[in-house]
Amino acid sequence: KGEEGRGEGSGSGRGGVGGGRERGEEDDLPVAEKYRRTWETAKRHWDRLGPSVSRFDPLYGTALVAYTVGDDLYRDFNTATREAGRSRASYRHYAFRDFHFLLTKAVQAKAGGGVCYQVFRGIQNVRFTLSDEATVVRFGQFASSSLDKTVAINYGQDTFFSIRTCYGARMDDVSYHPNEKEVLIPPYEIFAVMAYHQTENGVHITLESRGVFSRRNCDSVNGKRPGEREENTGFEAAPEGKFPAISGGAAGAPKSRLGRLNV
């Protein structure tokens, strides 16, 4: 089980990241009609939480729950977010702006207080290599992790991350799958690469939070499976250090909900 941090984060820079317009509960469905069932399932789950979440914006809370349901909304959102990060032209066709905005605001609100967490993230069927130039990186998408190392291991060890996040939001009190002990890491958090080594099961990368970054002009990092074209994994280099050589490939379809670099 991962150890919970005790207020060691800087606590700065948490407001205003992500952009977007303010919304209210009276707005229309913030996702496409095809995801209505997921949204309604999430809303019912949120409503059942009752007084324990009464001070949290229900629209933000429903977005958090909808993300943890783990169905087509989650998969399509992550795929579209990675595609949108490729270029400004791709971003113009991004269909999840409202949902991305709500999820960003929800994570910011829930992660307040400067608490850091030691978490783990397992990925199956994609293995990454690291260049000596890599110093500071970000995931570039919402990335799930777990406080429980065993949970993360069960999702894969081809690439395994040990992460100290200070901007991630603890989700087990609201998640549709609370036993996963999830901490949701935002796309704008940047990390120092503390260690990288090969293991008998794959590769192990250790990351430590170094603040936030919100511009969209970072270099993307690519990973691919044999026989497929290069695709953006959503793991990007922040300007403080290039991370051009993180790439990998393996056969098999991705199946990890916590391992989102290739989903």
Residue 121 has pLDDT above 70, yes or no: yes
Q: What band does 130 get if pLDDT is binned at 50, 70 and 90?
A: low
- Catalytic residue from among 14, 121, 138, 210: 121
User: pLDDT for 224-259, tens place per residue?
Assistant: 333 333 333 344 444 433 332 233 344 333 333 332
Position 51 pLDDT exceeds 60: yes
pLDDT exceeds cutoff 60 at 220 = no
Please name which of 254, 170, 157, 167 lies closest in space to residue 209, comparing C-alpha atoms.
167
Q: Please indicate whether residue 144 is annotated as part of the active site.
A: yes
Tell me the C-alpha distance between 158 and 37, whole Å. Answer: 34
Q: Is the dihedral of CA 117, 85, 109, 257 positive or negative?
A: negative
Average model confidence (pLDDT) across the chain: 74
Of the candidates 182, 189, 236, 256, the residue annotated as catalytic is: 182
Instruction: Note every long-range contact of 170-173, with CB atoms under 8 Å and residues 24 or more positions apart, other chains counting.
Output: 170/110, 170/111, 170/115, 170/117, 171/64, 171/68, 171/110, 172/147, 173/49, 173/52, 173/53
Q: What share of the chain is helix, strand, coil (3-state, %, to 5)?
A: 30, 25, 50
- Output the pLDDT for position 161: 95
Known active-site residue 182 = yes
Tell me the three state secondary structure of residue 170.
strand
Q: What does pTM read for this prediction?
A: 0.73
The more confident residue out of 25 and 122 is: 122
**Rounded Cα–Cα distance for residues 194 and 207 (Å):** 6
Tens of pLDDT, residue by residue over 68-86, are 998 899 999 988 988 887 7
Residue 160 φ then ψ, to 5°: -130, 125
The partner residues of 163 in beta bridges, in order of sequence, read 119, 207
Could you give the C-alpha distances from 165 to 69, 86, 93, in angstroms and in order?
22, 25, 30
Candidate list 82, 144, 145, 175, residue with the active-site label? 144
CATH numeric code, 33-261: 3.90.176.10
Predicted pLDDT of residue 253: 34
Q: Is the pLDDT of residue 19 over 80?
A: no
Asked if pLDDT for residue 112 goes beyond 90, the answer is no
Can you give the pLDDT at residue 23?
41
Give residue 46's pLDDT: 95
DSSP state of 95: S
If pLDDT is split at 50, 70 and 90, which confidence band does 131 have? Answer: low
- 22 as an active site residue: the answer is no
Question: Mean pLDDT, to the nearest integer, of 168-176?
Answer: 94
Higher pLDDT, 117 or 196: 117
Residue 52 pLDDT class (50, 70, 90 cuts)? confident
Task: Report pLDDT for 215.
Answer: 52
